[in-house]
Amino acid sequence: MSRFFTTGSDSESESSLSGEELAPKPVGGNYGKQPLLLSEDEEDTKRVVRSAKDKRFEELTNLIRTIRNAMKIRDVTKCLEEFELLGKAFGKAKSIVDKEGVPRFYIRILADLEDYLNELWEDKEGKKKMNKNNAKALSTLRQKIRKYNRDYEAQITSYKQNPEQSADEDAEKNEEDSEGSSSSDDDEDGLSATSFLKKKSEAPSGESRKFLKKMEDEDEDSEDSDDDEDWGSDSTSSDSDSEEDDGKYTLLASKFLKKESNTDKKVAEKKREDKAKKKHDRKSKRLDEEEEDNEGGEWERVRGGAPLVKPKMFAKGTEITHAIVVKKLNEILQARGKKGTDRAAQIELLQLLVQIAAENNLGEGVIVKIKFNIIASLYDYNPNLATYMKPEMWQKCLDCINELMDILFANPNIFVGENILEESENLSNFEQPLRVRGCILTLVERMDEEFTKIMQNTDPHSQEYVEHLKDEARVCAIIERVQRYLQEKGTTEEICRIYLRRVLHTYYKFDYKAHQRQLAPPEGSSKSEQDQAENEGEDSAVLMERLCKYIYAKDRTDRIRTCAILCHIYHHALHSRWYQARDLMLMSHLQDNIQHADPPVQILYNRTMVQLGICAFRQGLTKDAHNALLDIQSSGRAKELLGQGLLLRSLQERNQEQEKVERRRQVPFHLHINLELLECVYLVSAMLLEIPYMAAHESDARRRMISKQFHHQLRVGERQPLLGPPESMREHVVAASKAMKMGDWKTCHSFIINEKMNGKVWDLFPEANKVRTMLVRKIQEESLRTYLFTYSSVYDSISMETLSDMFQLDLPTVHSIISKMIISEELMASLDQPTQTVVMHRTEPTAQQNLALQLAEKLGSLVENNERVFDHKQGTYGGYFRDQKDGYRKNEGGYMRRGGYRQQQSQTSY
């Protein structure tokens, strides 16, 4: 019925449609008494008046349903978000909860969520596979739920003791609430359209709450659907009745007023009794079935999804020949890489095929071919490049490669290679050499990459990392065996590749045995046989020399040669062979084009330069050490440039794929260079260079900085409002720099070399005492130079013996240092040999003269700029100005030349 027709029956409306349509005019006096009629759409969907309790509980059940869905898909982040919303919604419903009590479904979700989180927490394998967001959300949500559940311990305990009874009571209680809140408009049936709509809207949420129900409750679902059909008939009748009674309501609100009915309560009680009886019958029936199943024998739990049907190897009575085995091998390999293939079962089938081939004496050629495919299948077990092999698969892989090498060494007539075509393979003709397609070198290179991947993905501070690191001995042994094999049967290119693998596992290891042999010559009488055998082994230096020289001579690819050179330089630097390492670096000219290399080679270059700088520092060559470390340390990204981790600020600049690629380039932890030691070496080298230079050019306006990072640390130290005793390594270096600036070498020495600095830095060197002795000597010498620069204007002359006693240096050393300073014109003085004194010339300008010199320089630059601007306006240089300009440049101030003070800027050694 349309809202445009307020009076008349259906027949009248039809006649009005056929004729001229006239809009009815409402009578003003009777407008309030006329019923407000609805449109047909509004009549179909009638409004439902719900109590505040129903609204709040429906909001809670919707949130609980979302949490359960997130639990099914293991989305812990979603669970955390919805749990916080659930807590807020429960807080809003606090007034209702105080009256009615905590609802059972709320207690149930708290208990189930806590059990679910505990189960995830104990699953260590699952936690490793979680992404960062889920792992972080798991720990956060677990703490929150444990803290939240303390207020409901009693209810949760009672629920866990009898969860099914709690579920039944909750369902009945929900039904009572829904039935109690509904009203009746039909006295005959005792049910109304609003009651039906209320019941129907509550049904889905009631179903979602019954999460403890299992597959056996399908009968109950069917019964509920029958009940819904019965209710549907009542609703249709009530709808028709309500349409007839539309004229009886004078106001819209009166249509939705609740009416209490005793018939409604009786029907609801009867339905509850019937449902409880049926549920009890179903439970007893289920228990009887379980007893019968247990009597029948043990049952095996099967996996979901399609059952895996393993193909039968060979039919009974089949004659097993080479062709049949190869055909079966190809059948197994056809499933490789396909979706749904069980890779573990594929490996088992291949191993079974090896056993069958061995039992039927088909020869080593077939076994070698199958072994190649087994190792390839083990590598393909993890299709994702980022994931690493499981420990059991890794051990199987190592064992299989060792078995393959045993067969190849025991049968010299077997030739393997990737250039052998499958058509030209010889597996059965034993009169001729056996030929098998496959590359043992590729398998070993992939094995080495998998080992690196395992070390990258293991926590370096755990015992598990140590256990994995023990496998490196097996990896190196396999590489040595393949090296011996390829030296006999491999090509030059393959030998270079396997030599590089051997070099990459040798270059970063310090040879303690060779170092001890250098320090103490071996005495044959006091050594045991085992020690003598170890001493007779090849030194790592000799091994690196032999392998790298072969690569230099035979390799045709630049990458392998570049890596070999860098590893060779690293090994020289690690063993304090500074001059060999430096010469090899300069002769290779790698620094000219290293920016065009791939990132792993650039990381290796950075590591080599850092090790070269540390080696120079150990030799006392502070300037060379500073120059080698300058590029790495000045960037502020030493950790990233050395491949030892990613910086947080750089992670924001990359997308997820780039971050994965960067992480695969990281160096395993046992190859790391100590970053604190690296920074300390750089700062100490900068201190030994910068402090004397600052003292010599204290009043020079054009003074340049040798190390920006060192000056930054000095400024940070000066800005501190309260200076306490130094704690960190940087604070120790800053405090030592201030003491050296005053010429106090003893205080400087106490800040650089003490127990704290020994534990952090100096004890990490192989020859720690030698390094400490060198440092003390350097501090004394540079403190002497700083003292002379700072206080030369105070003295007329000073005895070298006094300087020797003050800085605890022998007289020849003091004489040498002062002579070098005089020759390089850093110190304006002369030596009086008979009296062993230094006579100062006092030609250095005073502070006022320095300011005047600076003003003169600035005025000169200003005049030059003005001339350039004037000439630009004139279009050409005038002869007068050109002559004046040249004369100004040639005949600079005589005072600047005469004292020799300005020449030291260009002639300084820094």
Over residues 408-419, the pLDDT tens digits come to: 888 888 888 888
d(CA 300, CA 280): 29
d(CA 202, CA 179): 10
Q: Tell me what the mean pLDDT of segment 875-904 comes to.
A: 43
- For residue 33, pLDDT beyond 80: no
* Strands lying side by side in the sheet with 829-832: 797-799, 837-840, 829-832
Distant-in-sequence, close-in-space partners of 22: CB < 8 Å, separation ≥ 6: 16
The rounded Cα 610 to chain-centroid distance in angstroms is 25
- For residue 894, pLDDT beyond 50: no
- For residue 685, pLDDT beyond 50: yes
Predicted confidence (pLDDT) per residue in 746-781, tens digit = 999 999 998 888 888 888 988 889 999 999 999 999
For residue 836, the SS3 value is coil
Q: Tell me what the mean pLDDT of segment 678-704 comes to.
A: 85
Residue bearing the bigger pLDDT, 38 or 569: 569
Written as six digits, the tokens of 191 are 């049910």
- For residue 357, pLDDT beyond 60: yes
- For residue 227, pLDDT beyond 70: no
Which stretches of 312-441 are assigned E, i.e. beta strand? 414-417, 434-437
d(CA 435, CA 427): 7
- For residue 646, pLDDT beyond 50: yes
- For residue 37, pLDDT beyond 90: no
Range in 240-254, 418-432, 607-621 with the lowest mean pLDDT:
240-254
Range in 70-79, 645-654, 784-793 with the lowest mean pLDDT:
645-654
Predicted confidence (pLDDT) per residue in 255-295, tens digit = 444 444 456 666 777 777 777 777 777 766 665 655 554 44
Does residue 25 come out as left (phi exceeding 0), alpha (psi in the -120 to 50 range) or beta?
Answer: beta
Give the domain ranges of the chain.
Answer: 52-161, 319-490, 674-840
Answer yes or no: are the C-beta atoms of 450 and 394 closer than 8 Å. Answer: yes
Query: What is the band of 652 on the pLDDT scale with cuts at 50, 70, 90?
Result: low
Range in 211-220, 713-722, 796-805 with the lowest mean pLDDT:
211-220
Please tell me the predicted confidence (pLDDT) of residue 289: 57
Please tell me the predicted confidence (pLDDT) of residue 717: 82
Please tell me the predicted confidence (pLDDT) of residue 231: 43
- For residue 97, pLDDT beyond 70: yes
Half-sphere exposure of 144 (CA within 13 A, CB side): 17
Percent of the chain with pLDDT over 90: 25
Backbone angles phi, psi at 545, to 5 degrees: -60, -45
From first CA to last CA, the distance across the chain in angstroms is: 101
What is the amino acid identity at position 137? A
Please tell me the predicted confidence (pLDDT) of residue 665: 87
If one counts every other C-beta atom within 10 angstroms of the C-beta of residue 697, the result is: 17
Please tell me the predicted confidence (pLDDT) of residue 94: 86
Query: What is the band of 317 on the pLDDT scale with cuts at 50, 70, 90?
Result: low
Predicted confidence (pLDDT) per residue in 112-131, tens digit = 999 999 888 888 888 888 88
- For residue 710, pLDDT beyond 50: yes
pLDDT, the chain, mean: 76
Q: Tell me what the mean pLDDT of segment 316-326 comes to.
A: 77
d(CA 572, CA 586): 14
Percent of the chain with pLDDT over 70: 72
Please choose, from the candidates 682, 688, 743, the residue with its C-alpha nearest in 3D space to the C-alpha of residue 909: 688
Please tell me the predicted confidence (pLDDT) of residue 743: 84
Most confident of 378-382, 509-513, 676-680: 676-680
- For residue 812, pLDDT beyond 60: yes
Q: Tell me what the mean pLDDT of segment 138-142 comes to.
A: 90
Residue bearing the bigger pLDDT, 38 or 357: 357
Q: Tell me what the mean pLDDT of segment 438-465 comes to.
A: 90
Range in 169-178, 352-361, 456-465 with the lowest mean pLDDT:
169-178
Please tell me the predicted confidence (pLDDT) of residue 69: 92
Please tell me the predicted confidence (pLDDT) of residue 416: 87
- For residue 905, pLDDT beyond 70: no
- For residue 384, pLDDT beyond 80: no
- For residue 332, pLDDT beyond 90: no
Residue bearing the bigger pLDDT, 877 or 688: 688
- For residue 730, pLDDT beyond 70: yes
Taking each helix axis from N to C end, the angle separating 729-741 and 745-752, rounded to the nearest 10 degrees, works out to: 170
Residue bearing the bigger pLDDT, 869 or 228: 869
Checking DSSP bridges between strand 797-799 and strand 837-840, what pairing results, if any?
antiparallel
Please tell me the predicted confidence (pLDDT) of residue 483: 92
Written as six digits, the tokens of 304 are 């979901």
Backbone angles phi, psi at 337, to 5 degrees: 90, -10
Range in 136-145, 175-184, 622-631, 797-806 with the lowest mean pLDDT:
175-184
Please tell me the predicted confidence (pLDDT) of residue 424: 77
Q: Tell me what the mean pLDDT of segment 528-553 comes to.
A: 74
If one counts every other C-beta atom within 10 angstroms of the C-beta of residue 149, the result is: 16
